Amino acid sequence: MSSFIAAVATRVADSADAIARSLSPVDPNGASSLSQLRATSHGPARVAELLQKSAQDVSEIAVRGKPFHISDIPAYVDAVKNFNGGAGIDDRKMLLEKLLVLMSRLPADNQFEKTLQVFVIDTLYKDLPHPPAAYLPSNPYLPSTGAPSYPSTNPSNYANGHANGHANGSADQASTVHVRHPYSHPTYGVHRPYAARSADGSGYSTVYPDMGAAGKPYARTVPPTHPGINWPDAGLVFDALLKRRPSSGKRGILPSSNPNAEPGHSTLPTTNPTGFACHPGGLSSLFFAFADLVIHSIFNTNHSDWSINNVSSYLDLSPLYGSSEKDLKKVRRLDGTGRLYEDVFADGRLLFMPPSVPALLVLFCRNHNYIASKLLTINEYGTYVSGTALEELNEDDKKAQDDEIFSRARLVNCGWFMQVILGDYVGAILGLVRDGCEWRLDPLAESRESDHSVSPRGQGNVVSLEFNLLYRWHAALSERDTAWTELIFERVFGTRDFSSITVNQFQKTLAEKLRPDPDVRKWTFDGVDNAELVRDSSTGAFKDSDLAALLYAATEAPAGAFKARGIPEVLRVVEVMGIEQARQWGAATMNEFRKFMGLKPFSSFSEWNSDPDISRTAEMLYGNIDDLELYPGLMAEEAKPPIPGAGLCPGYTISRAILADAVALVRGDRFLTTDFTVYNLTSWGYLDCFSHKDDGAYGGILTRLLYRTLPEYYPARSSYARFPFIVPSAMQGYLRKLVDSPVSKYEFKRPKAPVLEVCETRYETVKDILADHKGFRSDVDSKLDSLVGTAGLDISLVNKALDFFIQKRQYPAILEHITSKLIAEKSTPDFTSGNNVKFVDIVHDVINLAPVYFVATELLGIPIKTEQTPHGLFRDVECASMFADVCNYVLLNRDPYMDWILRERTTEVSFAITDVISGHLKRLAGQGIIGKVTDSLIQWYTGEDKFSDVFLSRVLESAPRGKHVAESIFATIVPTIALYSKSIVHIVDFFLKEEQTSARELLVQLTRDKSVENDEKLYALACEALRVNPPVSSVVREDVHGELSDGNPEQVYLSLANANLDRSVFGENSIAADLEHPRAGLTGLEDYGLTSTSFLKSTVPAALRAIFKLKNLRSATGPRGTLRRIVETVHGCPEVEYLNERSEITPFPASMFVQYES
């Protein structure tokens, strides 16, 4: 039923959208969406927009699910009674989950959701005191490092009842260091014009510079006030409550001792003979590999002094970069490029984690180098040098450049880490990915309190002993990782009797045997076959295939369930140390911690865990529920079920506490909040940190990291890339349950090994391969079929109709007129250069729009919204953007990550434009009086002329009955529009360059007189310009028969840029244009639509004539007078890309201003 409602609501929303588009203003202020126009809309337009919004809201609720149920009321009533005082919130009523479901299921841009989210985040942030109220004292038997001291700027933070402390303010004075004194010298922006992270985490808070720095004590969140008891032996606690073992054979619903709890929430998980139980939410082992990176970023207890944390309390990717200048120097190249060595990291602890952990960290190393290379290439502030100029820099200047690029790249990379935490990690914790929901909590956002004061951000953070204990998630260790851990322990300790390993033996062996090589470039770790990975002897990098195999295996392996008796025996000594460490720290009890978090304390062991066997055992060990230790209490507590809003499914107390800690971690770091700016990260770097909507990952960003660093090993539709934190078979089941199930869009099998890609740069060979369509296959046809939903396309049918009018030479004059009209309309007086000087963005406002108007009016009959036709359906810039997406998807894109986004966008464009064309064709073919009248009325209402009827009628004359004519027209014309514009831009840019003054004078002379001879000369000059700078740098073909590789199919990368400079064909000085003997190179353009040779030859001279007839045409001064071009290198060959006005990388030129005299 919900699928039907969603389908109906979607159709209504689409219709309402069309009406709203038609009635919206012409957009004089450049607004690009209806949401930007609502404030200025009135009358019918406002009604249409409200109708559209209402229909979209209904559609979203039908797809996402209900935000509220009647059964939720008891949880809200309990919260009202106990939020600030009372017995504490009963977390068995699932209040947090119900709030999360409420927020995530409300329609986008809902004001109530925004207000509620601010409240929830503010509450979670204030769950913990900022700054901390107390610190652990240094070990009295060791030299004291001293605890940091901060002023208590808000005493209420430390004495507000259940939320943040005890109202009586009592504390264990013997084990607590209280803070009183402020720091006076913030390390903010010292000696550099940009913000940069320090090596040790100092200066991350603008208020207290040393807060949370490496080498400082842990904070104490909960003062222990319950008198101590004679604790049971730590080994006995592990064996009785924590050790993984098979279940007793009972199945089904467990009883609950809490009469107010929702029934049926607790089940005994099914275990195999070793005691392993699969995670109930389908989380993969890779989720916990990433959790290891988070945990190791903020916890590294000093072995000599357990009160000291050797890493910072921030998510600064310290496992990659280290926690000191010494660590940093080990991983940095220091060569002026800001890069790290290949596939390195600074934290040797990761070498002794399951191999998927260091493999994942290596991807962040690669991401840093990718970012640093992009920052150097883009050079946003124009201060960097590269190549020979970099080699010639003195050491001080080289170091300064390296420091700046490294620092900015680290900020961007940490931004990525943060976004993976919020998007993938927290998204999986809350079950949002599993439920197909893109909504996310945003704890980084700026907000204000009810009294209008700004909510605190960037004021620092210190991790506490309680959360050090809370994040020990050994029960989740997969069977594969358990087997690997057992193998390592057997190698190191020489025994499989893991219960015999003592704490002293463990510590002594670690100190003696597990010391990594001082040179991080020599570090390695095990592959899937448990053999050490081998680095490349020249680059130092690991094989992509080895890393991919580890990540595949981790995605396929189900994680373990959180449960009592779920921790593998091999980790017994580690767990015993954890229990004893908590005792030495003087950790609060389980109930004291719950009281501090505002939760209802347990009244009995059976309320803590309703499994009778577990509760009786715990009662035998501790006697009274108030004596239950924090660490065993957290690890053996009854686990949450996988309901909406709950994806991690740990114990209830852990589930509540980790959200508070997550908010504190990111909100307290100034580099993730107040200093997370386009200036510090650069515009490109800032935008690079954020995920794209509708990328098939439901709000995740790790997807992009996998595609960026291992692009050949993750196909575009692979669930291994789109949902790496959920086992593919489990995710397939979840997707099937979603409304309008998208399961058919994904591939759930392990990706196959990629085919070899070889590079070809020789002109004649490249030319021959491009001509051999059967032996060297393009993916264009399959993409077109996918786009329009049919395999019955007939490109030649449409091309013949186009050629018919080309031969009649009707189009050149039309395109010249459109181009001249756009120049006149879009030009603005340049008052700084004289009253008769004008300037115009020749790319954005003219060349990119001219073919759009031509196609809309002369070929397809698309109603464009202009001042003359205010009720048109699409604005010109909107059409240009849509057509560019289609072109990118069908003809240019080779990024598997972007494949999904472009396919989804262009499918919508295809349906919208094909629907318009179909209406015209039915009217012209006389197919039904209703359709004929409807299309005529639409044309009349939108102001659309009928010029396109001539072309469409010509297509219909030759179209066989039953053919997909509208789809064929779309597939032939629309994908070629943006490349036509790009070709014109490249030509214009070439002739406007200062070094082409004489060539430009020749071109201008040819434009003055219209003749066939002059047009041929103009076209020849244009072809020479495109030879030197082709509109397509390269194309890829599939070598079907393996002609280039001994019969093995492979991908052939054809560099058109290099082939066009082949000296054996174009002479020794091939890089220079030969205007006296111009010769066409290879353009990479498809020979149909607007990029067919006949259409280009017919219309390019006309377009150039309209532009270069302008008096004294020249590039505008400054950066805006040039294309923002960047050149990447692939297979040693150049790939030209561009930056748009938002500094996003795009295959299409976005802007270039020119000046001329009127």
Helix, strand or coil for residue 147?
Answer: coil
Q: Which candidate, 83, 174, 51, places its Cα nearest to that of 600?
A: 83
pTM equals 0.89
SS3 341: coil
Residue set of the binding site for heme b = 474
Give the residue ranges of the annotated binding site: 474
Q: Which residue has the tokens 């900020």?
A: 411
Edge-to-edge strands, sheet with 1145-1146: 1125-1130, 1133-1139, 1145-1146
The DSSP element (H or E) to which 1146 belongs, if any, is strand 1145-1146
Verify cis geometry, omega within 30 degrees of 0, for the bond prior to 131.
Answer: yes
DSSP annotation of 216: E
Distance CA 377, CA 852 (A): 32
Residue 563 · residue 243 · CB < 8 Å: no
Token digits of residue 486? 């057992």
Phi, psi torsion values for 51, nearest 5 degrees: -60, -45
Give SS3 for 520: helix
**Which residues are within 8 A (CB) of 913 and not within 5 positions of it... i.e. 6 or more apart?**
860, 862, 882, 970, 974
Structure token digits, residue 923: 């009217």
Report the alpha-carbon distance of residue 671 to residue 677 in Å, rounded: 9
DSSP, collapsed to helix, strand or coil, labels residue 1111 as strand
Q: Which residues contact 366 (CB under 8 A, 6 or more apart)?
A: 343, 708, 709
Residue 875 and residue 883: Cα distance in Å, rounded?
A: 12
Q: What DSSP string runs through 1008-1063?
A: HS--HHHHHHHHHHHHHHHHHS-S-SEEEEEETT-TTTTT--EEEEEEHHHHTT-H
Helices 965-992 & 780-788 angle (0-180, nearest 10): 130
Angle at 258 (CA atoms; ends 254, 260), nearest 5 degrees: 115
* Distance separating the N- and C-terminal Cα atoms of the chain: 64
Residue type, 530: N
Interatomic CA distance for residues 285 and 276, integer angstroms: 13
Reduce the DSSP state of residue 419 to 3 states and report it: helix
| Distances in whole angstroms, Cα of residue 837 to Cα of each of 663, 1003, 1042 | 55, 22, 59
Instruction: Return the SS3 of 465.
Output: helix
Interacting residues of 979 by C-beta distance below 8 A, sequence separation 6+ = 887, 891, 892, 1031, 1032, 1085, 1090, 1091
Residue 833 CA to residue 1121 CA, distance in Å, equals 15
- Establish how many alpha carbons lie within 13 A of residue 676's alpha carbon, considering only the half-sphere containing its beta carbon: 26
DSSP helix/strand/coil, 458: coil
Backbone angles phi, psi at 405, to 5 degrees: -65, -40
| Burial of 912 per CB tally in 10 Å (0-12, 13-18, 19+) | middle
The reported pLDDT for the residue numbered 728 is 98
Element of type H or E holding 152 = none
Torsion of CA 54, 58, 59, 63, to 10 degrees: 150
**Would you state the pLDDT for residue 763?**
95
What residue type is 869 in one-letter code? T
Specify the pLDDT at position 1074. Answer: 81
| Residue 432 three-state SS | coil
337 secondary structure, DSSP code = S
The three-state secondary structure class of 828 is strand
- The length of the chain is 1158
Phi–psi pair at 599, nearest 5 degrees: -100, 155
309 forms bridges with which residues in the sheet? Answer: 216, 301
Question: What CA–CA distance (Å, rounded) separates 164 from 223?
Answer: 10
Angle between helices 702-709 and 356-378 (to 10 degrees): 80
Question: What token pair was written down for 474?
Answer: 């050994």
Q: Are 630 and 226 in contact (CB under 8 A)?
A: no
Biggest CA pair distance of the chain: 104
Weakly modelled stretches of the chain, pLDDT under 50: 1-2, 4-13, 15-16, 28, 30-64, 68, 76, 81, 140-189, 251-266, 932-933, 940-943
Q: How many CB atoms lie within 10 A of CB 170?
A: 11
Tell me which DSSP letter residue 843 carries.
I
- DSSP conformation letters of 887-953: HIIIII---HHHHHHHHHHHHHHHHHHHHHHHHHHHHHHT--HHHHHHHHHHHHHHT--STHHHHHH
Looking at residue 93, its pLDDT comes to 83
DSSP state of 474: G
Q: In this structure, are residues 291 and 354 in contact, taking their beta carbons and an 8 Å threshold? A: no
Q: Which domains are seen in the chain, by residue range?
A: 234-284+465-662 (no CATH), 757-1157 (1.10.630.10)
Residue 25 pLDDT: 61
The DSSP call for residue 717 is: T
Q: Which of 840, 692, 708, 687 is nearest to 378 (CA)?
A: 687
Separation between Cα atoms, residue 1109 and residue 988, nearest integer Å: 12
Q: Is 191 left (phi over 0), alpha (psi -120 to 50) or beta?
A: left
- Residue 331 has phi, psi (to 5 degrees) of -105, -15
Instruction: Report the alpha-carbon distance of residue 1072 to residue 1027 in Å, rounded.
Output: 10
Residue 267: predicted pLDDT: 52
Interior angle at CA 1105, CA 1102 and CA 1106, nearest 5: 90
Q: How far apart are CA 458 and CA 437, in angstroms?
A: 29
**Six-digit token string for 113:** 């959701």
